[in-house]
Chains A and B, each alone.
Chain A
Amino acid sequence: MSVSTKAAPVADQEMLISGCAAIAQALRLSDIDVVTAYPIRPYDTVMQAVAKLISNGELDAEYIVAASEHDQFEIVKHASAVGARVFCGSSGVGWMYAMEAIAVTPALRLPMVALVGNRALDDPGAFGCEHNDALCVRDLGWMLTWVDTAQEALDTALIAYRVAEDRRVFLPCAIGADGAFLTHSEVLVKVPNKEKVDQFLPKYDRGDKLLHPDNPITIAPQVNEDWVMEIRKQNDDAMRRARGVIQEAYRDFHKIFGRQGGNPFVESYMAEDADVILFGQGTLSLPVKVGIRKLREQGHKVGFVRLRWLRPFPTPEVQETLSRAKAVGVIDRDYSFGSPNHGAVLYNELRSALYDLPNRPHVISFICGLGGREVTLDSVTEMSEILLKVAKTGKVEQPNYWIGVRG
């Protein structure tokens, strides 16, 4: 499928745009071929931004308005199989409604990139940010990354295509973006020029997996128990390889664009000498960093580590950044009812990742900021004080806290 872009700016440009519009810019620069749309807040802002780019003649792509989220993902799945670079996305229950199509995408090795504008699952009808929607693909072979700023959203979308479409990987990648805080806030974003992106992102080439009359193949046959486990093992192998491909992609990205030079998997903020560390993902980094600056002024050694990739989970980096702390508090903007210690998803992931360390920090679970509730400075102070007490006494009185719930 040939694609051309008109009116693409030559030089890097600064634009005042939202997180969703930043993703749309990445899609323009990636020359996507097929995009499907079905509205649900907050993802739908990207859909509007892409439509605008197409109508302005800045992007030449098939824009297919689907009959539902399920159709949305089915359409791009098939388009990806015939060699189109595709984009799709949804939020909350929309993402869940498409789950049957989403769940099987990794096995087909279709490198779709999707945006999940994180939203609470209805009922109750709500549209504030919660991470349980995107987390539903955690175990299915999707790569899963969370972004913090509109700039990171743009950069990560470009990186996501590069990694997903790498033949060593060929897995779909979902980008989690906190609804409202990121998707709907406008800030200045550096939008690179197309030439640089072309240097970074090769054309999508399915090779011998291309569904085409010249390449007669069958995809996704019915199989019995003689085959399934091997297919799963292939997925596992691809996910293991993704780690190195992600590292390569960030290295090249930094070389070409001069950004994203840090650790691809975790961002660490004042964590090196910290006694206690808060750990989380997405936009909560803003209040946490501000809170930490205040606590540091009072002499408390508090740090923050932000997880950028949840799948593949960066076990070595997480171990390395957290091993020196006495206590780690995991802020989950999600829940996992009935899970160990009644903690939530990130908490249990992290505890498991730290288990093999000879000297493990204590790990405390904080459930905070559900349904779009703000993670406030007071919440950050409250969580830090709990951790500082654990660090001082060496005792965990309570493994899990709900922070900011009325009651």
Chain B
Amino acid sequence: MTGSIEVVYRGIFQKTLGQRITRGIVLAAVKEGKVGISFGRYGDSPERNGIPAKSFAVVADNEEDLQTYLSRYEPTDNDVTVAVDDTLCKGVESWAWYGLQPINKLTQPGGVVLTTSMQSPEELLEDCHRKDTEWSLAVLKGIASFSGLWVYKDDHTDVRVLGAIARLAPHVVKLESVEAAIQDEWQDELKVTSARKAYERVETRKVGPDEGNPEKPYEFQLPKWWEMKEGLVIPGIPVKQDVEGWEGGYRPGRNPTFKKFATRTMRPVIDFEICTKCTLCWLQCPDSCFDVTPTGHYDANMEACCGCGVCEAVCPVEKCVTMVNEAAFGDNASQFEMYEKDTDTYKSWLKGKIEDKVTTDRYHGFQLRGKYEEEVQEIIREVTK
């Protein structure tokens, strides 16, 4: 009997969190006399801010079963897939593979996707891609952890996820062993309480094959060795893409096989009414995300934007560019097209996105820096209540 857990996290600020969770599973399984291994999806590296990455735990009754399971390398039928940032439910593209992988792709039929989120399961299902089989979506109430890499701001997300896993997959680890492992590893009674509360509070909803985001995630066929150009030569991307009806506009060519938007935790929304067309966002965006519209506006293309926040930081017009939690959006549609079609609708949409603090506030390299540390105590009070 083997069990496996996949933790999908955002490099690099959730790397330690991912590791702590998969380590915790193995330590708990050992309490039950099982054996186990905890490892990262190495090809995900080098991790950069926001890039989705994975950590795995595999446990088994004995060494031989463990070896048999591991001989396939990446666990492909996980009992539980954990997304420690709910925006990962939109799918993951990493350095380790090509294309967008649905969050539930490596979840076994009947398995669970567990995410920490302030959203409802119904809202999250708009993001999660459909799966051929039945599966479950479990939500542990909480914001995306910004616990960090070197200096770990312990917000108890690690043990809360462990507690929830004990509830969702008791055949992998039981609550008693999770509690014992937490005690051993961290000698912290409060962390044990957090795990127990999460065990009690995690909410699950069954999902049928006809539910979820119907979009087909993009994928690619990799070339054969004799099809590739020799000498590590990669064909250049065309400088410009032609867009119908865009006379006078300009859309740069973009990498068709690596889109990067799965990296985004926040996206810029732009108030085209007050934009002075100063070009700064277009110039400074490190990923050439801005399309120049025929009207001379700059439209951040959401198929390309990794959500770094530079445009917001450089825009000289107050409140013209605002970074908003990615969780607040359902698609990658062009904001400028929406604006042109119906200015009033766009304005109220924009206002709604900016003001909806419940879902839109979040932590980011350029935003609320350092604030998370101050709030950790409050978070812990909340989760142990």
Contact = CB atoms under 8 A, between A and B. Distances in A.
A374 B27 CA distance: 27
B225 A185 contact: no
Nearest to A187: B37
Given A188-B30, A291-B71, A407-B224, A41 B45 contact: yes
Interface in B8-24: 23
A180 interface: yes
Interface stretch (A122-130, A207-215, A249-257): A122-130
Contacts of B70: 286
Interface in A264-308: 286-287, 289-291, 293
- Ordered nearest first, which 6 A-B pairs have the shortest CB separation? A180-B42, A407-B224, A185-B39, A290-B71, A287-B71, A407-B225
B26 interface: yes
Interface string A347-376: 000000000000000000000000010101
Contact of A186 (B38, B67, B222): B38
A16 B43 CA distance: 22
Contacts of B227: 407
Nearest to A18: B39
Contacts, number: 64
A10 interface: no
Nearest to A186: B38
A185 B70 CA distance: 11
Interface of A: 16, 41-42, 123-124, 127-128, 179-180, 184-188, 286-287, 289-291, 293, 372, 374, 376-377, 405-407
A128 B38 contact: no
A123 B232 contact: yes
Contacts of A127: 42, 45-46
A372 B225 CA distance: 16
B43 A372 contact: yes
B68 A184 contact: no
Main secondary structure on B side of the interface with A: mixed
A376 B72 contact: yes
Contact of B226 (A16, A179, A407): A407
A381 B47 CA distance: 34
Contact of B43 (A128, A185, A188): A128
Nearest to A42: B42
B38 A16 contact: yes
Contacts of B121: none
A93 to B, nearest CB: 15
Contacts of A291: 71
Contact of B68 (A42, A123, A124, A290): A290
A406 B45 CA distance: 23
Given A180-B42, A406-B224, A186 B23 contact: yes
Nearest to B22: A186
24 contacts: A16-B30, A42-B42, A127-B42, A127-B46, A128-B43, A179-B42, A180-B43, A184-B39, A184-B40, A186-B23, A186-B26, A187-B36, A187-B37, A188-B26, A188-B30, A188-B35, A286-B71, A289-B67, A290-B67, A372-B43, A376-B73, A405-B225, A406-B222, A407-B227
B256 interface: no
Interface in B21-65: 23, 26-27, 30, 35-40, 42-43, 45-46, 64
Given A16-B23, A188-B30, A407-B226, A377 B72 contact: yes
A300 B43 CA distance: 35
Contacts of B236: none
B37 A186 contact: yes
Contacts of B26: 16, 186, 188
Given A16-B26, A180-B42, A286-B67, 16 more contacts: A41-B45, A127-B46, A180-B43, A184-B40, A185-B37, A185-B38, A187-B38, A188-B26, A188-B35, A286-B71, A290-B67, A290-B68, A290-B71, A291-B71, A406-B224, A407-B225
B248 interface: no
A405 B27 CA distance: 37
A185 B30 CA distance: 16
A316 B109 CA distance: 52
Contacts of B238: none
Contacts of B46: 41, 127
A286 B68 CA distance: 8
A16 B64 CA distance: 19
A293 B40 CA distance: 27
B184 to A, nearest CB: 10
Contacts of B23: 16, 186
